[in-house]
Chains A and B, each alone.
Chain A
Amino acid sequence: MSEFTLDPISQPPASFSPSNPRSKFTTTRLKKITQVGLKSIFSHGLRSLLTVLGIVIGVAAVIAMLAVSEGASFEAQKQFRDLGATNILLKSVKPVEVEESTNRGFGPPQAIVYGLTQADIATIRDTIPGISNVIASRIVKKNIWNLGISINTDVVGTAVDYPSSRNYNLRAGRFFSETELRDHANVVVLSDEVANLLFPIDNPIAKSIKIDSDYYNVVGIMEAEGFSNLGQNQAGSSNSAPSRVFIPFTASKSRFGETTTRQTAGGMESETVELHEAIIQVDNQETVIEVGEIIDQILQRRHKDVDYSIEVPLALLRQAEASALRDQIVAGAIAGISLLVGGIGIMNIMLASVTERTREIGIRRALGAKRKDIIAQFLIEAVILSGVGGLIGVVLGILIPFIISTFWGMTTIVTPIAPILAFSISAMIGVIFGIYPSMRAADMDPVEALRHE
């Protein structure tokens, strides 16, 4: 006889009614279906991975692009805040033609004359209404000394309103006064960086530093700046650290003269620049962009060469906003395309899976699975597939901006909404593109399915 014996069967009686309350869709079933789905996906690891590549790329690209765009617009806003909403920045720029002509000449170097002049500023002031203030600066590169320590830095000859014009505050002491400006006084305000370099130990306030052969009394120290406040060290070629000192405009003129000399690759080079920089303050933010355009027209008429630059922070902000919008549209388009491709990939693989598992579908139907059980099974599988793709995409999408920030120093910001949105969309893709294959599976005739090889 056989080696197995059957004990009398004592089981809970089959409780049947066409709408058996037990056969409701419970979390236990969901868990089981999910397990089966995961099993099926991981049994085809490589195939599943390739399938979800579209989703991965789509999600990662969107998150990364939005992070970069968000970072750029954050930077623009910061810059805008730092430079002032109602300011227009004028700078002297050495024109290209002049540079060439000096290289050609023999003999002792001639002083090149270029840039903004007091007359330019006066004209701007007189012809354009609504300008509340102009802060003009000269910037000369000098070696400055505190006893044995010396650094090469920009010496900015400017007006008393300089700090307030660009939300640049003092850390200690004070800025020089109107009286000191009028008197060509030898007073100096150090930037945070210069103060730290020249006075590593003691407090610089009320001490003296030497520029050329003159001594200047330190009256104040500016607070440390973010790197966004760059671009003021116009006199030198260095654009790196915002290290500079501030002296009265009048003092700069009388101590250093009109013509300045600086070292270049080809030897010494002299240049005469009246003003290196001017901040023009407008009393109404609405008109600042328009005023900027008028100033540009005036300067174009007055200057033969393009030896100046004009910057309107508000215009830069508008530009940044426009490019952020453009970035978002591009990100959206990339996302749309790759998610569509990803979705089609998922549909394709799900259709293959349905065909491969025809027999299984037949067995499940014979054992009591309803159409909706089969739909749920394949739909959940599609969602798991796209969800896993979405998850990998989210991880990559967060990692890429991080790498960009670390290696290129670009500001990137991953807002929480981007990964959440991207992930939800990818899961939805699974549902949308899983519906058709699932319906195909559910609509199979059980007898046919069971006969399938």
Chain B
Amino acid sequence: MTIIETNSDHGSTVKSRDIFAGELVASLQEIKKTYYMGALSVDVLHGITLDFYAGDYISIMGPSGCGKSTLMNILGCLDQPTQGKYFLGDEDTSKMEDDDLSAIRGARLGFIFQSYNLIQQLDVLENIEMPLFYQGYTEAESHEIAMGLAARVGLEDRIDHKPFELSGGQQQRVAIARALAVDPLIILADEPTGNLDSKSGAEILTLFDELHDQGKTLILVTHSDELAEHSKREIKLKDGRVESDERIHT
């Protein structure tokens, strides 16, 4: 498909890509986003071009309101850009219908939210199983996968607990397990430690490090320098533009 073209078409601010050897998993090309509120329109993203490679560990930083969450929503196929193209794997998502966007979210993306976003009526295991359910896994398959993931995030003895019976850190670990369920191409986390105390936050960071070691592709939005320290590539946004994009800890 058209991925090849995107390789040669990057902005001058991107200087870290060449050093990293992974396969291209996501590519943003001149992404613009404008919100319309009646007669008023707000330009939030002013043409963002970024490439993301398999196995990379990326942090996105920037002042509040600079468009980080907006960008993450586009990366997560929850929202469509007003202009520009977004390739996820080898699919052009910018022309996709709602059903295809749902399908691609379910199959290729893992979400971790600041407020965990677990379903309160369901227990830990059922929450982890949920993305598998929409992918049509059988009950036996999803059960096995979810059990394995619950164990991996250290919650094997809590599988029948409801989210409100868990601490924030534990809930976020459930969310991470859920994000891993379909073995996604990219894991997207918008301020995953924003609601956590420093100890729980540190545990989550350790989990991310381990995921990175296993070759997972992580993109996270954070305000915390400490979290950004853990990443390998640090992108800074300002007013809807890429301010800097640097590879760190090489």
| Residue of chain B at shortest CB distance from A13 | B183
B residues near A151, Cβ cutoff 8 Å: none
| A200 located at the interface, meaning its Cβ lies under 8 Å from any Cβ of chain B in the complex | no
Set A40, A369, A447: member contacting B106, Cβ < 8 A: A369
Set A7, A11, A17: member contacting B145, Cβ < 8 A: A11
A residues near B106, Cβ cutoff 8 Å: 23, 367-369
Q: Is the CB of B133 within 8 A of A20?
A: no
| A107 located at the interface, meaning its Cβ lies under 8 Å from any Cβ of chain B in the complex | no
Among all A-B residue pairs, the 9 with the closest Cβ atoms: A368-B106, A4-B154, A22-B136, A16-B107, A368-B134, A18-B100, A2-B206, A6-B210, A370-B102
Q: Is the CB of B103 within 8 A of A19?
A: yes
Set B98, B130, B154, B206: member contacting A367, Cβ < 8 A: B130
| B79 located at the interface, meaning its Cβ lies under 8 Å from any Cβ of chain A in the complex | yes
| Residue of chain B at shortest CB distance from A367 | B131
Q: Is the CB of B207 within 8 A of A28?
A: no
Set B91, B107, B117, B148: member contacting A368, Cβ < 8 A: B107
Q: Is the CB of A23 within 8 A of B103?
A: yes
In Å, the complex CA distance between A196 and B102 comes to 83
Q: Give min CB distance, B157 to chain A, whole Å.
A: 12
Q: Is the CB of B210 within 8 A of A5?
A: yes
B residues near A369, Cβ cutoff 8 Å: 102, 106, 134
Q: Is the CB of A367 within 8 A of B111?
A: yes
Contacts from B to A (Cβ < 8 Å): 73, 76, 78-79, 89, 91, 96, 98-100, 102-108, 111, 113, 117-122, 130-131, 133-139, 141, 145, 148, 152-154, 178, 180, 182-185, 203, 206-207, 210-211, 213-214, 216
Q: Give min CB distance, B231 to chain A, whole Å.
A: 18
| A26 located at the interface, meaning its Cβ lies under 8 Å from any Cβ of chain B in the complex | yes
In Å, the complex CA distance between A345 and B178 comes to 36
Q: Is the CB of A447 within 8 A of B136?
A: no
Q: Give min CB distance, A380 to chain B, whole Å.
A: 14
Set A6, A19, A28: member contacting B214, Cβ < 8 A: A6
Q: Give min CB distance, A35 to chain B, whole Å.
A: 9
Q: Which of B100, B103, B138, B152 has the most CB of A within 10 A?
A: B103
Q: Is the CB of A370 within 8 A of B98?
A: yes
State the interface size on chain A (CB cutoff 8 A): 48
In Å, the complex CA distance between A360 and B210 comes to 29
In Å, the complex CA distance between A450 and B117 comes to 8
In Å, the complex CA distance between A3 and B180 comes to 19
A367-392 near B? 1/0 per residue, CB < 8 Å:
11111110000000000000000000
- A7-B152, A450-B113 known; A360 and B119 CB under 8 Å? yes
Residue pairs across A and B with Cβ atoms less than 8 A apart, 25 shown, are A2-B203, A2-B206, A4-B207, A6-B211, A7-B152, A9-B216, A12-B141, A14-B108, A14-B182, A16-B89, A18-B91, A18-B103, A23-B134, A26-B136, A32-B139, A43-B121, A362-B117, A365-B102, A366-B117, A367-B134, A367-B178, A368-B131, A370-B98, A371-B102, A446-B79
A residues near B79, Cβ cutoff 8 Å: 446-447
Q: Is the CB of A363 within 8 A of B100?
A: no
| A264 located at the interface, meaning its Cβ lies under 8 Å from any Cβ of chain B in the complex | no
In Å, the complex CA distance between A13 and B100 comes to 19
Contacts from A to B (Cβ < 8 Å): 1-9, 11-24, 26, 28-29, 32, 36, 39-40, 43, 359-360, 362-373, 446-447, 450
Q: Which of A11, A21, A367, A446 has the most CB of B within 10 A?
A: A367
In Å, the complex CA distance between A446 and B96 comes to 15
Q: Is the CB of B103 within 8 A of A368?
A: yes
- A8-B214, A364-B130 known; A39 and B121 CB under 8 Å? yes
Set A15, A360, A373: member contacting B134, Cβ < 8 A: A373
Q: Is the CB of B108 within 8 A of A16?
A: yes
B residues near A9, Cβ cutoff 8 Å: 152, 180, 183, 214, 216
Q: Give min CB distance, B113 to chain A, whole Å.
A: 7
- A7-B152, A363-B119 known; A371 and B108 CB under 8 Å? no
Known A32-B139, A367-B106, A367-B131; further 15 A-B contacts with Cβ < 8 A: A6-B207, A7-B152, A9-B216, A16-B108, A20-B136, A28-B138, A29-B133, A40-B121, A363-B119, A366-B111, A368-B134, A370-B102, A446-B78, A446-B79, A447-B79
Q: Give min CB distance, A10 to chain B, whole Å.
A: 9
B residues near A362, Cβ cutoff 8 Å: 117
| Residue of chain B at shortest CB distance from A362 | B117
A residues near B210, Cβ cutoff 8 Å: 2, 5-6
A residues near B213, Cβ cutoff 8 Å: 6
- A2-B207, A6-B210, A368-B107 known; A11 and B183 CB under 8 Å? yes
B residues near A8, Cβ cutoff 8 Å: 214
Q: Give min CB distance, A285 to chain B, whole Å.
A: 67
